[in-house]
Amino acid sequence: LGKRLTSAVSNLTHSNVVDEKAFDAMIKEICSALIESDVNVKLVANLRKSIKSAVNLKELGPGVNRKRLIQKTVFDELVKLVDPHNEPFKPKKGRTNVIMFVGLQGSGKTTSCTKLARYYQARGFKACLVCADTFRAGAFDQLKQNATKAKIPYYGSYTETDPVKVSRDGVEKFKKERFDIIIVDTSGRHQQEKELFAEMMQIQQAVKPDQTIMVLDASIGQAAEAQSKAFKESADFGAIIITKTDGHAAGGGAISAVAATRTPIVFIGTGEHMLDFERFAPQPFISKLLGMGDLGGLVEHVQSLKLDQKDTMKHIQEGIFTVRDLRDQLGNIMKMGPLSKMAGMIPGLSQMMGEVGDEEGTMKLKRMIYIMDSMTEKELDSDAKCFVDQPTRMTRVARGSGTSVREVEDVLTQHRMMAQMAKKVGKNMANLQKGGGLA
Ligand code: GDP
Ligand code: MG
**Sheet harboring 97-102: ordered strands across?**
154-155, 127-131, 181-185, 97-102, 211-217, 239-243, 265-269, 277-279
pLDDT band at 386 (very low <50, low <70, confident <90, very high): very high
Q: Which ligand is nearest to the CA of 114?
A: 1
pLDDT band at 20 (very low <50, low <70, confident <90, very high): confident
CATH 3.40.50.300 boundaries in the chain: 97-286
Query: Quick check: ipTM above 0.85?
Result: yes
Among the listed ranges 39-43, 277-281, 388-392, which one has the minimum average pLDDT value? 39-43
Q: What's domain 97-286's superfamily in CATH? A: P-loop containing nucleotide triphosphate hydrolases (3.40.50.300)
* Pocket residue to mutate for ligand 1, from 131, 149, 242, 272, most atoms within 8 A of Cβ: 272
* Residue 106 Cα to ligand 2 middle (Å): 7
* Residue 7 Cα to ligand 2 middle (Å): 38
303 pLDDT above the threshold of 70: no
Q: State the chain's mean pLDDT as an integer.
A: 81
pLDDT of residue 306: 44
Neighbours of 58 (CB within 10 A): 5
DSSP for 111-122, written as a single string: HHHHHHHHHHHT
2 pLDDT above the threshold of 60: no
pLDDT band at 385 (very low <50, low <70, confident <90, very high): very high
* Residue 333 Cα to ligand 2 middle (Å): 43
DSSP for 182-236, written as a single string: EEEE----SS--HHHHHHHHHHHHHH--SEEEEEEEGGGGGGHHHHHHHHHHHS-
Asked if CATH classification 3.20.20.210 holds for the domain at 293-433, the reply, yes or no, is: no
Q: How far apart are the C-alpha atoms of 214 and 149, rounded to whole Å?
A: 24
Q: How far apart are the C-alpha atoms of 381 and 285, rounded to whole Å?
A: 28
Q: How far apart are the C-alpha atoms of 261 and 121, rounded to whole Å?
A: 29
Say how far residue 108 (Cα) sits from the centre of its chain.
Answer: 14
Nearest residue by C-alpha to atom 19 in ligand 1 = 108
| Ligand 1 atom having least distance to the Cα of 185 | 4
* Residue 80 Cα to ligand 1 middle (Å): 28
Determine the average pLDDT of the residues in 75-97.
83
Cβ(184)–Cβ(207) below 8 Å:
yes
Strand 97-102 and strand 181-185: the pairing is parallel
pLDDT of residue 64: 65
pLDDT, tens digit, 9 for 90 and up, residues 120-160: 998 889 999 999 999 888 899 999 999 999 999 999 999 99
Closest residue by Cα to residue 102 from 228, 226, 13: 228
Instruction: Establish how many alpha carbons lie within 13 A of residue 303's alpha carbon, considering only the half-sphere containing its beta carbon.
Output: 11
What are residue 185's DSSP bridge partners?
101, 131
Please work out whether the CB of residue 135 comes within 6 Å of at least one atom of ligand 1.
Answer: no
CATH 1.20.120.140 boundaries in the chain: 2-82
* Pocket residue to mutate for ligand 1, from 190, 243, 278, most atoms within 8 A of Cβ: 243
Q: How far apart are the C-alpha atoms of 220 and 393, rounded to whole Å?
A: 36
CATH 1.10.260.30 boundaries in the chain: 293-433
Determine the average pLDDT of the residues in 234-248.
87
Which of the 8 DSSP states describes residue 87?
Answer: P
pLDDT, tens digit, 9 for 90 and up, residues 193-223: 788 899 999 999 999 999 999 999 988 877 8
pLDDT, tens digit, 9 for 90 and up, residues 266-275: 999 988 988 8
Q: How far apart are the C-alpha atoms of 88 and 210, rounded to whole Å?
A: 11
Amino acid at 251: G
Please work out whether the CB of residue 244 comes within 6 Å of at least one atom of ligand 1.
Answer: yes
* Residue 268 Cα to ligand 2 middle (Å): 17
Please work out whether the CB of residue 110 comes within 6 Å of at least one atom of ligand 1.
Answer: yes
* Residue 342 Cα to ligand 1 middle (Å): 36
pLDDT of residue 396: 93
DSSP for 351-393, written as a single string: HHH-S--HHHHHHHHHHHHHHHHTS-HHHHTS-SHHHHH-THH
* Residue 106 Cα to ligand 1 middle (Å): 6
Nearest residue by C-alpha to atom 9 in ligand 1 = 108
Nearest residue by C-alpha to atom 27 in ligand 1 = 272
pLDDT of residue 437: 44
* Residue 108 Cα to ligand 1 middle (Å): 4
Closest residue by Cα to residue 289 from 242, 226, 237, 340: 242
Our CA dihedral for 391, 393, 394, 396, rounded to 10 degrees, sits at 140
Please work out whether the CB of residue 243 comes within 6 Å of at least one atom of ligand 1.
Answer: yes
**CA angle, 274 as apex, 159 and 163 as ends, to 5°?**
25
Strand 154-155 and strand 127-131: the pairing is parallel
Which of 222-231, 262-271, 299-308, 332-341 has the highest mean predicted lDDT (pLDDT)? 262-271
What is the pTM for the complete model shown? 0.66
Please work out whether the CB of residue 272 comes within 6 Å of at least one atom of ligand 1.
Answer: yes
Which of 343-357, 363-377, 394-408 has the highest mean predicted lDDT (pLDDT)? 394-408
Please work out whether the CB of residue 109 comes within 6 Å of at least one atom of ligand 1.
Answer: yes
Q: Under CATH, what is the fold of the domain 2-82? A: Four Helix Bundle (Hemerythrin (Met), subunit A) (1.20.120)
